[in-house]
Amino acid sequence: MKIYADNAATTPVLPEILSVMLPCFTENYGNPSSIYSLGMNALRAIEKARSQCAAAIGAKSNEIYFTGCGTEADNWAIKETARRLRREKGKTEIITTNFEHHAVLHSTQALEKEGFTVKYLPVSSDGYITANQVSDAITDNTALVTIMYANNEIGTILPIKEIGAICREKGVIFHTDAVQAIGHVPINVTTQNIDMMSVSGHKIHAPKGVGFLYCKNGLKLDRFMHGGAQERGKRAGTENTAGIVALGEAITLATTGIEERAAKIILMRDRLIKELSKIPASRVNGGCKDRLPGNVNMSFIGIEGESLLLNLDLAGISASSGSACTSGSLDPSHVLLALGLPHEIAHGSLRLSINEYNTDDEIDYIIETVSKVCAKIRAMSPLWEDLTGGKGGFERFAPLLTPIK
Ligand code: PLP
């Protein structure tokens, strides 16, 4: 059995999306900046995609700027907004959280080196922040608030509308990284008080290498790439026509019928959580109240995330421990550490991210396989032996875990 349960890392391109992309390589291959009809056709295809992206989030077409990925949209929004507000208004403070994606955290860290002050709001032990925390942190010196819509590792969904309202009230620009949320929860930038928002294509069945930044009309957006006049002079470079067309189609599909799809996925997610929680000394990371429909994140003490993943791969299951972008690093996830978890628990995490293409049979197989693999690894684990063999030490983890029977 081959099961893909890592949709938060990336998704396959759907056949119906591939079929709208292919003509961009073979027939409609003109340069969108060329004035002859082949070029104009490509430009029309891009503008159609722009209006699809805008419609999907309650924006206007001229508020969408295509980028090469979600990371680029984050870098653009955060760095250029911060630098502009320092230049124009002398503001030097940025507010974010301590569990953002590295596309945000490394951007704010780069700005710290340029002299900005960054406040990293601490998330609660179940992975949330409140609008009050944001309100308390804002000062006259705040240039920008950037807070993710939903966390990529633990799937918690933050109170974006309320945070946006506070920022509006205090006259501070609000950017949100919606890379994990788009297509999974309904988003309307207008009613949710969002000034800037980052989106990526490859999480919603478009190919890798395309995304967009939404920037509300009236808000100044500095040029990010210098060169040609593409993206209304803000982001130079010949457009990725096929990727953009795919993103337009993908976002339309992903934002249509969200509730029905989510209901089906939540049933599978909750079954995974319920059954995997029966594994002794395990825990669910992140609260379940406001959580992405397809996200499961669990820790199993005595088990290294890497060996769990390798064993699952041998059994045909693709999953992840933490975010794909940091796999290869042996450091425990900064998201799990932000929840206040000790390294021993943060190391043994498993993220399963499922979608509507997963089946009940696959969920059964995942439950059975994860349980077996955990038992097998623990049988060989000296840490597990110490914890359960009376050497002590388990007491300090016990309150965070299901009991060892
Ligand atoms: N932001 C979040 C929350 C993500 O999960 C990711 C990718 O995993 C990104 C940003 C980066 O997006 P991209 O891979 O398109 O650069």
Query: 243, 200 in Cβ contact below 8 A?
Result: no
Measure 341 CA to ligand 1 centroid, in angstroms.
23
Which residues 6+ apart lie within 8 Å of 34 measured at CB? 40, 42
Q: Is 184 in the pocket of ligand 1 (CB under 6 A)?
A: no
The CA 139 to ligand 1 mean position distance, Å, reads 29
pTM (two decimals): 0.96
What's the CA gap between 82 and 63, in Å, rounded? Answer: 19
Report the 3 state secondary structure along 348-399. CEEEEECCCCCCHHHHHHHHHHHHHHHHHHHHHCHHHHHHHCCCCCHHHCHH
Report yes or no: 314 and 301 within 8 Å, Cβ to Cβ: no
Active site residue 325: yes
> Under the phi-then-psi rule, with left for phi > 0, alpha for psi from -120 to 50, and beta for the rest, what region is 340?
left
pLDDT tens figures, 2-41: 999 999 999 999 999 999 999 999 999 999 999 999 999 9
Please give the sequence-ordered ranges of beta strands (E in DSSP) within 147-186, or none if there are none.
173-177
CA distances from 192 to 167, 242, 288 (A): 11, 30, 22
Please write down the HEC assignment for all residues of 50-113. HHHHHHHHCCCHHHEEEECCHHHHHHHHHHHHHHHHHHHHCCCEEEEECCCCHHHHHHHHHHHH
Closest-lying ligand 1 atom to the alpha carbon of residue 148 = 3
Ligand 1 atom with the smallest distance to the CA of 150 is 3
CA distance 391 to 389: 6
* Amino acid at position 161, single letter: K
Q: What is the mean pLDDT of residues 297-324?
A: 89
199 Cα: distance to centroid of ligand 1 (angstroms): 8
Catalytic residue among 53, 69, 215, 325: 325
pLDDT in tens, 77-86: 999 999 999 9
pLDDT in tens, 223-255: 999 999 999 999 999 999 999 999 999 999 999
Residue whose CA is closest, atom 13 of ligand 1? 70
69 lines ligand 1 (CB under 6 A): yes
